[in-house]
Amino acid sequence: MKVKRLHLTNFRNHEDSSIEFADGVNFITGPNAQGKTSILEGLSYVCLTKSFLQQPEKSVVRFEADTLCVDASVEKDRGTPHEVKITYERKSGKKYILDGNEVRRAADVVGMFPVVILHPGNLTLTGGGPSDRRKFLDMILSQVSKSYLEESIEYARALKQRNRVLLDGRLTGRLDLGILDAWTDALVAHGAQIVERRSSFVKEFREVFVSAYDWLVKYYETPDMIYMPSFTTGPDIEDTFFAELQRVSMVERSRGATIVGPHRDDLEFTLNGVPVRDFASQGQNKTVLVALKMAEFQCIKTKLAETPVVLLDDVMSELDSFRSASTLRSIAGLGQTFITATDILNAYAGSLNDDRQNSLPDAKVHFVKGGNVLYENV
Ligand SMILES: Nc1ncnc2c1ncn2[C@@H]1O[C@H](COP(=O)(O)OP(=O)(O)OP(=O)(O)O)[C@@H](O)[C@H]1O
Ligand SMILES: [Mg+2]
């Protein structure tokens, strides 16, 4: 897919910005705090119905305004045009409108306009806690599989209810075993599906990730990723999940919470056999992220038969010219790309040094100042 045009009204510091994008690489440049990342956030609304910064609309709507609007013209790979519009009013909330019709559930559009996003917050993927890594898995799987998204919603519901029963039991001293068992059954059924899907997905994804990393780094660094479910899985995941819940039941009762299940899963990334989290340099961390995102791109494209757009927020800083050139070169060829950078020359120079720079297709530079896209230099 491609985003042909984006219009932001009262969105962060953009009062009224209209941007025509190139089909290839779009550099979005300008000094700090001028509204570059906000443009990527607007694109994230188009594709995911929300900000990738995971902030609520009340933070996104411009300080002095009561309503915001993002509207975009999008073209799918087969050439089908779509008009996407998202509005938010402080009083009445958010609406997602596709080709003039309001869409009720965000889940109905997620995956229609696929996107791969890399931003500085993603550094928690390799350096932070397990919840960021679970979100990463869920974000890809939810885009490529509606049934996974439905399972996750059901699992979250069962977990919430089961935790409530356990907490009530702890606080009152009376545990309702009948209700607990019912929620345990739901938790095990949906949880086992999630573990199975994550496990087979990581097996497939790992191969693509490793070859993407190899492509980016030409000397000897061997990456790996390992899925680590919160319990040891046997041939029948439902049985092992259930048995594990039985095993920890006394601990759960005293804590008043569910302590095993996919909400406690983790993923480990390693370089040359040691954990990235503990030993990798900043540049290596970023390279792992870029490779993960390249793999995410391949995976989403294959599964959905639609080319995702790529949003890169501030990615080039901390990468040396070789790695930033490799990043640019590998990503520019993938599909429509949006790259923010304060120093566009630095980002761009990497590609100019490269013998394949001519392959940088259809690039456009957008200058952003004070919430205005001042001029465009093609
Ligand atoms: N709700 C809002 N209303 C108005 N302005 C806002 C709102 N939220 C954030 N801002 C401001 O919008 C500006 C643009 O932020 P943005 O993150 O897009 O900047 P940027 O160009 O990406 O900067 P950097 O190079 O530092 O990453 C900032 O000055 C920020 O304080
Ligand atoms: Mg920014």
Last residue of a domain, one of 262, 282, 303: 303
Can you tell me the mean pLDDT for 349-373? 70
For residues 138 and 181, membership in a common domain is answered with yes
- Check whether 351 has a pLDDT greater than 60: no
3-state secondary structure of 273: coil
- Report strand pairing: 67-75 vs 2-11: antiparallel
Does the beta carbon of 29 sit less than 6 angstroms from any atom of ligand 1?
no
Can you tell me the mean pLDDT for 256-269? 96
| Contact indicator for 86, 45 with CB cutoff of 8 Å | yes
For residues 250 and 174, membership in a common domain is answered with yes
For residues 181 and 264, membership in a common domain is answered with yes
Does the beta carbon of 286 sit less than 6 angstroms from any atom of ligand 1?
no
The answer to whether residue 120 is domain-embedded is: no
What is the spatial distance between Cα 375 and Cα 378, in angstroms, rounded to a whole number? 10
**pLDDT single digits (tens) 230-251:** 999 888 999 999 999 999 999 9
**Could you tell which of 9, 10, 38 is best to mutate to test the pocket of ligand 1, judged by most ligand atoms within 8 Å of the CB?**
38
| Contact indicator for 300, 137 with CB cutoff of 8 Å | no
Whole-Å CA distances, 367 to 37, 116, 297: 12, 23, 27
The answer to whether residue 121 is domain-embedded is: no
Tokens of 11: 């969105």
Does the beta carbon of 372 sit less than 6 angstroms from any atom of ligand 1?
no
- Check whether 321 has a pLDDT greater than 80: no
**pLDDT single digits (tens) 2-36:** 999 999 999 999 999 999 999 998 999 999 999 99
For residues 5 and 91, membership in a common domain is answered with yes
Atom of ligand 1 nearest to the CA of 340: 22
pLDDT classification of 376: cutoffs 50, 70, 90: low
Does the beta carbon of 33 sit less than 6 angstroms from any atom of ligand 1?
yes
CA dihedral 352, 358, 360, 363 (to 10 degrees): 90
Number of domains in the chain: 2
Pick the more confident residue, 187 or 143. 187
Q: Which domain holds residue 62?
A: 1-114+306-378
The answer to whether residue 97 is domain-embedded is: yes
Can you tell me the mean pLDDT for 190-199? 97
Rg, the chain, Cα only: 22
Whole-Å CA distances, 227 to 190, 268, 269, 354: 18, 7, 9, 36
**pLDDT single digits (tens) 33-85:** 999 999 999 999 999 999 999 899 999 999 999 999 999 999 999 999 999 99
Using the CB atoms, write b or e for 247-257: b if 16+ within 10 Å: eeeeebeeebe
For residues 240 and 131, membership in a common domain is answered with yes
**Could you tell which of 27, 34, 343 is best to mutate to test the pocket of ligand 1, judged by most ligand atoms within 8 Å of the CB?**
34
Tokens of 369: 């100042």
**pLDDT value for 353:** 46
